A and B are shown apart, each in its own frame.
Chain A
Amino acid sequence: MNDTGQVALIASRSKISGKYYFPVLPESIPVSRDCEVVTLSPEASLYSFTVVHPSPKTGQPPFTLAYADFPEQVRVLGRLKLPEGACPMIGARLRVELDATAGGEQTYVFVPVQ
């Protein structure tokens, strides 16, 4: 959660170049010493997407993968959850929500800003 109570992603920002990197660089990586952990803006823009159709053998339903561009000039790949019957639109505003993976772990997903 960010200061306004919205779900937000965290990233690394280089103290040298000011550039942002997602996900946060592990502390064990030497260059992480030159970075600080920051919170990204709550909204992003849909840059591109694909609807993945798993093999019929798996029985899994289709899902959408998306590239979301954040104002901090960093792109994040993630799943895009859409309302029933909705189609993704490049340029659409997205926000981040928490979701559960098939294994029950928490992860992030993108959803359209209504």
Chain B
Amino acid sequence: MTRDIYISGAAMTKFGRHDAVPMPSLAQEAILGALADAGLGLDDPQAFYCANVYGGMILGQTLVRDLGLSGMPMYNVENACASGATGIHLARHALLAGIYDTVVVFGVEKLTQLGGGSIPLQRNDYKTDLYAAQGMTLPAIYAMRATRYLHETGHAPEVLGQVAVKNRRHGALNPLSQARNEVSLEEVMNSRKVYDPLTLLQCCPSTVDGAAAVVLTTKRPSAGSSATRRPDVRVRASVVQSGKREEGLEDILDAEITARAAHLAFEQAGLGPDDLGVIELHDAFTIAELLYYEAFGLCGRGEGPRLLADGVTALGGRVPVNPSGGLIAKGHPLGATGVAQMVEVVWQLQGRAEGRQIEGAKVGLTQCTGGGIAGVDHAASAVHILTV
């Protein structure tokens, strides 16, 4: 029997520099917030899933120790930037299998501990080691996609900058966003050169901390004794895919792994791109958002700038993308990102996204990718579809 999976609680901390706030404090704030949002106590969930990248071993148990939990399982999940979404995917498996009926998934990261700059790559790989010695970083890979995109489509570099202008405008409306200032296209294009054609304001901030948590349950929230007036949010699709080894001269604009994940998610949900009312996607760098428009079937090759110019993907448009500000404005604390995307979509679908609410959205999609190794498009891509 197929079970419906609901998100009954969602919460996150403000994303930003939290130098003086330890990681357990961030995690616990998100966990307690999500449980309170669901009307549950600490002993109600039967398991916890902790998503993180750079926090070290048995992190989840460390982060919740002082909450005095009753010893329920803690699963630590790492899948680079897709860790949070992967945690939700695994939790859903357990719920579908009937092992649990209610669990908490939280993601947390303190990138300020790394001191800024590009995040470290995976070093247990001969190919990644060789390329890292040449100077390969994640932003360099995206920048080469951007160069090729501009070459093939004939667009001016400003089309990339427009993504940052839109997402920073959205972030300015989100009190939990790291960057809360609007920027002009001129400011984006004239910000410091980092990886041509990407300028600094086209990259997600590298020093950011934060946590997010959701409660996943098979119990229909509106059927409970403390029934809320909020619409029930269902997880209609949950897909995690891994990158295939590059076998030749791959098209780096194809975003193959994400197109594959999105296709599977649409199939699972019985929905298509025209049904979407809100999207939170992995805009770690501006070029990514344009490529993912194509991967989701929102537009054809090279047509992303037209969607931006027409306001289709801005707040007020047909399918707003990254109303939270996305990774570029809200911030990208790796392990927390996938969960935070889910939090934003839950709030949007339930009419709780104060200051940036999308009217009438019934279907939302979240997507994040995990990278950091050479020789694959990305290591992981996760797509979820939520509905009310």
- A contact set with B: CB distance below 8 Å: 19, 23, 26, 47-53, 55, 62-63, 65-67, 69, 73-75, 77-79, 90, 101, 107
**Which of A23, A26, A101 has the largest count of B CB atoms less than 10 A from its CB?**
A23
| Chain B interface helix/strand/loop/mixed | mixed
Inside 8 A of A51's CB, which chain B residues have their CB?
Answer: 193, 195-196
Contact A78–B134 (Cβ < 8 Å): yes
B249 lies within 8 A of chain A by Cβ: yes
Contact B130–A50 (Cβ < 8 Å): no
Contact B151–A90 (Cβ < 8 Å): yes
B306 lies within 8 A of chain A by Cβ: no
Q: How far, in angstroms, from A65 to B134 measured CA to CA in the complex? A: 8
Contact A75–B131 (Cβ < 8 Å): no
State the total of A-B contacts with C-beta under 8 angstroms. Answer: 73
Inside 8 A of A66's CB, which chain B residues have their CB?
Answer: 144
Contact B144–A48 (Cβ < 8 Å): yes
Q: How far, in angstroms, from A78 to B133 measured CA to CA in the complex? A: 9
Name which residue of chain B comes closest to A49, CB basis: B147
Inside 8 A of B131's CB, which chain A residues have their CB?
Answer: 77
Contact B135–A52 (Cβ < 8 Å): yes
Can you report 10 residue pairs joining A to B where beta carbons are below 8 Å apart? A19-B248, A23-B127, A48-B147, A49-B144, A50-B143, A50-B146, A65-B134, A77-B134, A79-B135, A107-B133
B192 lies within 8 A of chain A by Cβ: yes
Inside 8 A of B145's CB, which chain A residues have their CB?
Answer: 48
| Chain A interface helix/strand/loop/mixed | strand
Contact B249–A55 (Cβ < 8 Å): no
CB distance from A56 to the nearest CB of B (A): 8
Inside 8 A of B123's CB, which chain A residues have their CB?
Answer: none
On chain B, which size bracket covers the interface?
A: 20 to 34
Contact B247–A19 (Cβ < 8 Å): yes
Inside 8 A of B197's CB, which chain A residues have their CB?
Answer: 50
The answer, among B136, B193, B250, B374, for a CB contact under 8 Å with A53, is: B193
Inside 8 A of B192's CB, which chain A residues have their CB?
Answer: 53
Contact B147–A75 (Cβ < 8 Å): no
Inside 8 A of B42's CB, which chain A residues have their CB?
Answer: none
Q: How far, in angstroms, from A90 to B146 measured CA to CA in the complex? A: 13
Inside 8 A of B126's CB, which chain A residues have their CB?
Answer: 23, 26
Inside 8 A of A19's CB, which chain B residues have their CB?
Answer: 247-248
Given the interface contacts A19-B248, A53-B194, A73-B249, does A90 sit within 8 Å of B134 by beta carbon? Answer: no
- B contact set with A: CB distance below 8 Å: 117, 126-127, 130-131, 133-137, 140, 143-148, 151, 192-198, 246-250, 252, 374
The answer, among B134, B144, B146, for a CB contact under 8 Å with A79, is: B134
Inside 8 A of A67's CB, which chain B residues have their CB?
Answer: 144, 252
CB distance from B140 to the nearest CB of A (A): 5
Contact B195–A74 (Cβ < 8 Å): no
The answer, among A52, A55, A73, A101, for a CB contact under 8 Å with B140, is: A52
Inside 8 A of A78's CB, which chain B residues have their CB?
Answer: 134
The answer, among A65, A69, A73, for a CB contact under 8 Å with B144, is: A65
CB distance from B116 to the nearest CB of A (A): 8
CB distance from B202 to the nearest CB of A (A): 12
Q: How far, in angstroms, from A101 to B129 measured CA to CA in the complex? A: 14
Contact A90–B148 (Cβ < 8 Å): yes
Q: How far, in angstroms, from A50 to B192 measured CA to CA in the complex? A: 15
The answer, among A65, A74, A90, for a CB contact under 8 Å with B248, is: A74
Inside 8 A of B135's CB, which chain A residues have their CB?
Answer: 52, 63, 65, 79
Q: How far, in angstroms, from A63 to B137 measured CA to CA in the complex? A: 13
Contact A75–B140 (Cβ < 8 Å): no
Inside 8 A of A55's CB, which chain B residues have their CB?
Answer: 117
Name which residue of chain A comes closest to B198, CB basis: A50
Contact B140–A48 (Cβ < 8 Å): no
Q: How far, in angstroms, from A79 to B134 measured CA to CA in the complex? A: 6
Contact A23–B144 (Cβ < 8 Å): no
CB distance from A2 to the nearest CB of B (A): 20
Inside 8 A of B140's CB, which chain A residues have their CB?
Answer: 50, 52, 65
Q: How far, in angstroms, from A62 to B151 measured CA to CA in the complex? A: 21
Q: How far, in angstroms, from A48 to B146 measured CA to CA in the complex? A: 9
Q: How far, in angstroms, from A27 to B385 measured CA to CA in the complex? A: 43
